Amino acid sequence: MFLDAWELTAGDNFTRKIFSAMKHSRCALLIATPEAAESGWVQEEYEYMFNLAKQREDFHWIPIVLGEFPDFPFLSNIQAVDFEDSSEEKYRTAFQKLLCGLDKQAPGAKPYFSGDLALPEMDTASPEQTSINAQHTFIKDVWDRLDASMPLMILAQADTNTQHYIQALKQSLQQGYPNATFLHLFPPASVRVDSAAYFGRLAKQCGLDEGVSESWEWADALREKLDQGEEFVLLITGFENGAEDTRGELAGELRGLLSNYPYSLKLIVMGSEQLAAAKYKLGKHSFFNDLDEMRLPDVSLQDLKDIYLKRYADLSLDDDTLESLLTFTGKHPRLLESALQCLKRGDPDWQANIKNSALPSQLFTRFRNETDAQLLCDLLQKQILGRYDAWPQDTLIRRLYWQNLITDCDGKFVWRCGFVQQTGLELLQC
């Protein structure tokens, strides 16, 4: 069995190794979640699995759904295994179906796995409580802008698990706008998707009638509902995915809708570096100039409690431990997750565990070429790297920022934490 966390070593070309693993396997599992549907990388893996299954009779793949069915086209004609919740009976039924699928066997009338099985923990936190707690920082900032009828663009640095924030946003907005229709849109990630498929998928996500294949048809269908007095809250994630032409069409239609319905249409677009580039590279010609910009904030102590620890319900940590986590990791989301996983496993020296893992070197994977290394060594000797700029002209500084290795502190670029800086010095042998 190949699992990337088990098999990849520091310095590996993980793209090549994962595709090689699939090529030498008889079965692959695709975890099909709403998050995966937005991921260009997962789309590439799916296409590779799909083509491999057509070429080889001895290879097949199985989609696994966790709860909400995502908008993956293949789920309409390929049987998935649905782990819809963590209740023992349903989980054991789904697990037996998965085992049968691995061997290409029908599960029978009453599938049920009766052997030893470690069941996942049930999520006991109520949506209402999560929504209230999450408003301490990020959610409150979003509400302040929406209440002022400002369309909003939210930007995140690399490795940020935006699903924490997306779920908190969904819960809060659905409760805060009970008379509005909340829509979470995520355009197709593949650049090969044509305009008809692109807007057909958006129409499906909006619950519109079938037959939409043009951008104006999609906008007119929404416009008709807005003219009838309906209100909408649109959260668009993965906007920067897909072909540039179709993104441009969507941006143009959104501009028109917002100008005509500023109070009955609320818009939030969430993305990362490519979304920021769409604003700053196009300058005054960009649709995103009309959007108020907000960066996802660094993880606060309250966010760590209310959002991150929600995934580790049995992990009880005092404030001093949580503060030490934030200090050591520099609030880097990926390092934080690694530290929490160490603590969940009961590792007493979680700092040493992180230092000795492959993760530190992976953070600098994109900066290993000779040109970058020379310039980077100079920067690694400094504590302050210059004045903060939303889109730095210095290409290396900009890349370091979006890769989440540096951050903004009191209007200046600084290394995210001493651990990241020291890791860079050691890896590049500065």
At 367-390, the pLDDT tens digits run 888 888 889 999 999 999 999 998
Say what the pLDDT of residue 125 is. Answer: 45
3-state secondary structure the chain: CCCHHHHCCCCCCHHHHHHHHHHCCCEEEEEECHHHHCCHHHHHHHHHHHHHHHHCCCCEEEEEECCCCCCCHHHHCCCCEECCCCCHHHHHHHHHHHHHHHCCCCCCCCCCCCCCCCCCCCCCCCHHHHHHHHCCCHHHHHHHHHHCCCCEEEECCCCCCHHHHHHHHHHHHHHHCCCCEEEEECCCCCCCCCHHHHHHHHHHHCCCCCCCCCHHHHHHHHHHHHHCCCCEEEEEECCCCCCHHHHHHHHHHHHHHHHHCCCCEEEEEEECHHHHHHHHCCHHHCHHHHCEEEECCCCCHHHHHHHHHHHCCCCCCCHHHHHHHHHHHCCCHHHHHHHHHHHHHCCCCHHHHHHCCCHHHHHCHHHCCHHHHHHHHHHHCCCEEEECCCCCCCHHHHHHHHCCCEEEECCEEEECCHHHHHHHHHHCCC
Please list the ranges in the chain whose pLDDT falls under 50. 124-135
Say what the pLDDT of residue 405 is. Answer: 96
pTM of this prediction exceeds 0.95: no
Say what the pLDDT of residue 39 is. Answer: 67
Say what the pLDDT of residue 38 is. Answer: 62
Q: Domains in the chain, ordered, with CATH?
A: 4-85 (3.40.50.10140), 127-295 (3.40.50.300), 311-427 (no CATH)
